[in-house]
Amino acid sequence: MTAAPEHAPTMAQSSLRDRLAPYAPLLLVPLLAIAGFIAVQNPASWMTLTVSGLAMGMMIFLMASGLTLVFGLMDVINFGHGAFVSVGAFIGISVLLTLGQLTNAPSLALNLLAILAAVLAAMAATALMGWAFERVIVKPVYGNHLSQILVTMGGLIIAEQLIIVLWGPEEIYFTRPEALKGALTFGDAAIEKYRLVTVAVGLAVFAAMRFVLRRTKIGLIVRAGVQNGEMVAALGYRLRLVFVGVFIAGSALAGLGGVMWGLYQEVITAHMGNQAMILIFIVVIIGGLGSVEGCFIGALLVGLLQNYVAFVEPKLALVSNIALMVAILMWRPMGMIPVVKAK
């Protein structure tokens, strides 16, 4: 009979490199900002570009976060997500246009009230639409990616055409509320007020999402569901209900993003959702499917890069996002912060 082996625990600590690896994507945003500074070479323009890049990133994040959660949680790839963006923008802007008295008044409070009303209307409408979309279009095709892509694509077409039926085929131009027009100047850098509002809204939504996902029971179930849905369902949680909730919340966020995007560009078209889809997909892919943090970082990267490149070499702006996606996927084939296992 041999003696039990001596108890000799090894206290190996993983190297600094290994421990830092998960946080590496976080460094990309400041790195990109520094690279942008070197490329732009003018502190004032750099400041302006950075803020507008961040603003754009925040809006893309709003639109993309719902999609990435839905994919992670229920393995549904929704090519019709852009429909919520367009519908949100059209409803929000219609509300703003009818509230002309509030938006034309030079008072910030009244303006914000009008915007709040528009945002709430848009979010309510897109939440309802998301619910219907899930019931009617997505529900019959769970578990079949090919059908999902085809069917949600059909949903996007229908939504786009219905917008044209209801609002007419022309693009709608409008101006932002009085108090949000114009720019603030910090030294030499001029920063549009609206972009600051966008950054604030984006940060607030991100913080709220993080809080819900990290600190609440619902968030725990959602995160667990993204990791392993079957296990969560086996534990007795009605994951389907949670999923519908996430779908609705994601749609509402896309609607919010649509209103912000419409106000940013001061023009809305029925195709804007379709155009936004491209950016949304890039962000979802490079962030890693199912990851809200990855989505946030990805959106900021896309927004910043697009603004810097558009300033330095306008013709390359279109290709820059694709190049970013290629680079990130070479580095991490599953996206920056992968959550969902390979399927």
The residues of the shown chain that bind another protein, judged by CB under 8 A, are 77, 79, 137, 140-141, 145-147, 149-151, 153-158, 160-162, 164-165, 169, 274-275, 277-278, 281-282, 284-285, 289, 315, 318-319, 321-322, 325-326, 329-330, 333-334, 342-343
- Under 8 Å between Cβ of 179 and 111: yes
CB of 325 to another protein, least distance (A): 7
Sign of CA dihedral 29, 84, 193, 191: positive
CB of 322 to another protein, least distance (A): 5
What residue spans of 75-107 are helical by DSSP H? 81-98, 100-104
Give the C-alpha separation, 325 to 147, whole Å.
26
The 3-state DSSP class for residue 258 equals helix
User: To the nearest whole angstrom, how small is the minimum distance from the Cβ of residue 76 to another protein?
Assistant: 10
SS (H, E, C) 173-226: ECCCCHHHCCEEEECCEEEEHHHHHHHHHHHHHHHHHHHHHHHCHHHHHHHHHH
Burial class (CB in 10 A: 0-12, 13-18, 19+), 39: middle
Q: How far is the CB of 289 from another protein (least distance, A)?
A: 8
Structure tokens belonging to residue 190: 């001029």
Q: Which is nearer to another protein, 56 or 118 (CB)?
A: 56
**Shortest gap between Cβ of 263 and another protein (angstroms)?**
23
**Token pair of 62 as six digits:** 């709003």
Nearer CB in complex with another protein: 67/259 = 67
Diameter of the chain measured on Cα atoms: 93
Q: State which residue, 219 or 338, has the beta carbon closest to another protein.
A: 338
- Cα(195)–Cα(66) distance, integer angstroms: 22
Which of 97/153 has CB closer to another protein? 153
> Measured from the CB of residue 303, what is the shortest distance to another protein in angstroms?
16
Residue 214 or 341 having the CB closest to another protein: 341
Nearer to another protein, 149 or 190 (CB): 149
CA dihedral 326, 332, 335, 337 (to 10 degrees): -150
Which residue has 């949000």 as its token pair? 180
For residue 8, give the amino acid letter.
A
208 — phi, psi (to 5°)? -65, -45
For another protein, the closer CB: 72 or 257: 72
Least distance to another protein from the beta carbon of 161, Å?
4
* CA end-to-end distance (rounded Å), the chain: 49
CB of 28 to another protein, least distance (A): 19
Shortest distance, CB of residue 153 to another protein, whole angstroms?
A: 7
Nearer to another protein, 46 or 79 (CB): 79
**Is the CB of 93 or the CB of 138 nearer to another protein?**
138
Rounded Cα–Cα distance for residues 91 and 230 (Å):
38
Side chain identity at 143, as an amino acid letter? G
